[in-house]
Amino acid sequence: MNERERILYLREQIEYHRKKYYLEDAPEISDAEFDRMYRELEVLEKEHPEMHDDNSPIYRVGGAVLEKFEKHTHSVPLKSLTDVFSYEELADFISKTSDCGGYTVEKKIDGLSVALIYNGGRFISGATRGDGTVGEDVTSNLRTVNSIPMTIPYKGYLEVRGEIFMPRSSFEKLNAERETTGEPLFANPRNAAAGSLRQLDSSITAKRNLDIFVFNLQKCDKQFETHAQTLDFIRSNGFHVLEYRLASTLDAVISRIEEIGAARAGLPYDIDGVVIKVNDLRERVRLGEGTNVPKWAVAYKFPPEQKRTTLLDIFVQVGRTGVLTPNALLSPIRLAGSTVSKATLHNIDNIRMKDIRPGDTVIVQKAGDIIPEVVDSVKDERHYTLPEYAMPARCPSCGEEVIRIEGEAKTVCTNAACPAQRQRSIEHFASKDAMNIDGMGPAAVKSLLDAGLISGIADLYSLDAEELEKLDRMGKKSADNLLLSVERSKSAGLARLIYALGIQNVGEKAGKALARRYGDIEKLFGASVEEIASIPDFGMITAECVVSFFSHPQTRVLIDRLKDAGVVTTSETEIPGDGVFSGKTFVLTGTLPSLKRSEAAAIIEERGGKTSSSVSKNTDYVLAGEDAGSKLTKAQTLGVPIIDEETFLKMAGTTPE
């Protein structure tokens, strides 16, 4: 066997054993033997560059670094499904399709939808769902997913759709690593999978241990009669395919849903529902499809997962504006894809209303499957007298007296020099949506404060490289990168600066509105409450907060120091009243192919429009991306125009980067 034959042989053997390990969970050789073959192939391919093949196993480790993702237009649209949230809604779907010959019932993986294209038995390319019509070409990243075969037995044209996900064990490991390095944690496995698949450096994706379940045949030269046949065909070609069940009645479908729901917590991956599809492909054609959803399938969505645990204690955190927020310390539980040991209790009124007491058995869920919260206490299991919880009379950070804001549920520390407020105000100032100082996370801020290198936000602009290098886990390279990020933040702009200052009730949108209206931070020192309250979407309370902030002598000193450091405090983006989106209201939903929602919102606001978080009859446009949910459904019901990113950019008079 010559070296070329050996390369082909090793590729075939490695792919075979990869399939046995990752797809069949039935390895035939040891990890050491697999690694030995891999290393041999790696050496041989370097010696024979003329044998290069993108589908070679050695490229599963990644290495391609892109400047951006190219757009990919799907040959068959990747449509979303109509969501149903009750058995009554499900029964309505079944009644409309009861003469179609039965259904397939499948788990709904909570991940990121992709299309995979094969021809001649080889993986050609793959792309994200995007808006269903246009996605992003992420071929190099998909090659790193071990459960995606690079070669298949079928030699004709084949396009399949699957869901990329991150197993729970991989998610926990990744977050543990990020916590150690001081990086922001991913909210859930779906969030982690989406972020991993959209890395411009494929070697990063390769380390994230992504997986896939293929659930639909999009396009194929071969003909089939049922969806079940297509799934069996897909599985026979080496793809991960979820178990499906056939059902012909509503009772049978519900029985399977409840069976899946009962097993949900024990699965090694996250699911958020069950998909019910008409099995007969000819009946699907007869039923047809709507603009964005097929009429032959629905997704039954599970209600938020709730679990019981013990409330060990209630502890208070002091926010950047001095507000004291009570939080629950819980006996750890596994909930909606992650381990939960803490949950928000919002405020003292919420605690009183639900009669929550330390020592109680409580019911916990994740709001939006992201933020853990205590739903209620289980009074029947309170076997002994527990005292009511009372908010502390003094700030747990600085020891100063706290006050209850009249007419509100807020308890506030009024000490401007409170250490907790100081740390969180600096964290907020440096955060991504504010001044975007990369590397200035909670751990870094605490380290700088403890070392006495900073005492407030203005001190960030006088940091010294030599002093930084002396800090634990810093080093010269990290110090240089941090100082470079601090320098870049000087040109973040007036809108970001206003938001970064942490003014009570002033968020990103309010910061942008103030920057557009005044154009120079100096003008805010003389602005009146009535003048600011006249800005659209501003109220008297927010206006009073702004005027109060700029009336403090400390604010004058702070702004002067920032200006002396070279921080930009003016804006050149004042919006004329006749902007292309003037008077228009947009709602953003789903994941856009190339723009972040914040970037799309900035384009809207720069052109005189505004964004809203909810769809109503007053909404002018819904800008929808991948995995658009209930907002898209409501827009369809109300007849609100729905546009994709490409249409939006044309309307805005720009083109994607």
Over the range 367-402, which residues count as b (16 or more CB within 10 Å of their CB) and which as e?
eebeebbbeebeeeeeeeeeeebeeeeebebbeeeb
Q: Where exactly are the structural domains of the chain?
A: 3-61, 73-301, 306-397, 419-489, 494-564, 585-652
3-61: in CATH 1.10.287.610 = yes
For the stretch 66-111, pLDDT in tens is 667 888 999 999 988 888 989 999 999 999 999 999 999 999 998 9
* pLDDT at residue number 337: 63
Q: Tokens for 448?
A: 């700088």
With CA atoms as reference, report the closest residue to 9 among 59, 46, 44.
44
Task: Give the CA count within 13 Å in the CB-facing half-sphere of 566.
Answer: 9
> Do 154 and 237 form a contact (C-beta atoms < 8 A)?
yes
Which fold does the domain 419-489 belong to in CATH? DNA polymerase; domain 1 (1.10.150)
What is 74-127 written as a DSSP string?
Answer: -SS-----EEE-SHHHHHHHHHHHTTS--EEEEEEE-SEEEEEEEETTEEEEEE
Q: How confident is the model at residue 534 (pLDDT cuts 50, 70, 90)?
A: confident
b or e along 59-76 (b: 16 or more beta carbons within 10 Å of the residue's beta carbon)? bbebebeeeebebbebee
Q: Is the pLDDT of residue 220 over 90?
A: yes
Q: Which of 344, 351, 341, 331 is nearest to 391 (CA)?
A: 351
The DSSP code for 201 is B
Give mean pLDDT, residues 117-145. 91
pLDDT of residue 657: 42
Q: What is the largest CA-CA distance in the chain?
A: 87
Quick check: 368 pLDDT over 80? Answer: no
Residue 535: its pLDDT value, please?
A: 84
246-283 pLDDT, tens digit per residue, is 999 999 999 999 999 999 888 999 898 999 999 999 99
**Bridge partners, 328 (sequence order):** 314, 343
Q: List, for residues 434-456, the tens digit of each pLDDT value.
A: 999 998 988 889 899 989 999 88
Q: Residue 640 and residue 3: Cα distance in Å, rounded?
A: 63
Dist CA 277 CA 637 (whole Å): 23
Active-site residues, by number, are: 108
The C-alpha atoms of residue 488 and residue 435 are separated, in whole angstroms, by 9
How confident is the model at residue 576, as a pLDDT? Answer: 47
Between the two ends of the chain, the Cα-to-Cα distance in Å is 50
Assigned architecture for domain 306-397: Beta Barrel (2.40)
Tell whether domain 585-652 is in CATH 3.40.50.10190. Answer: yes
CATH architecture of 73-301: 2-Layer Sandwich (3.30)
Query: In CATH terms, are 419-489 and 494-564 the same topology?
Result: yes
CATH fold, domain 494-564, is: DNA polymerase; domain 1 (1.10.150)
- Residues 6 or more apart whose CB falls under 8 angstroms from that of 319 comprise 325, 420, 421, 424
Which among 595, 588, 616, 604 is positioned nearest to 653, based on CA atoms?
A: 604
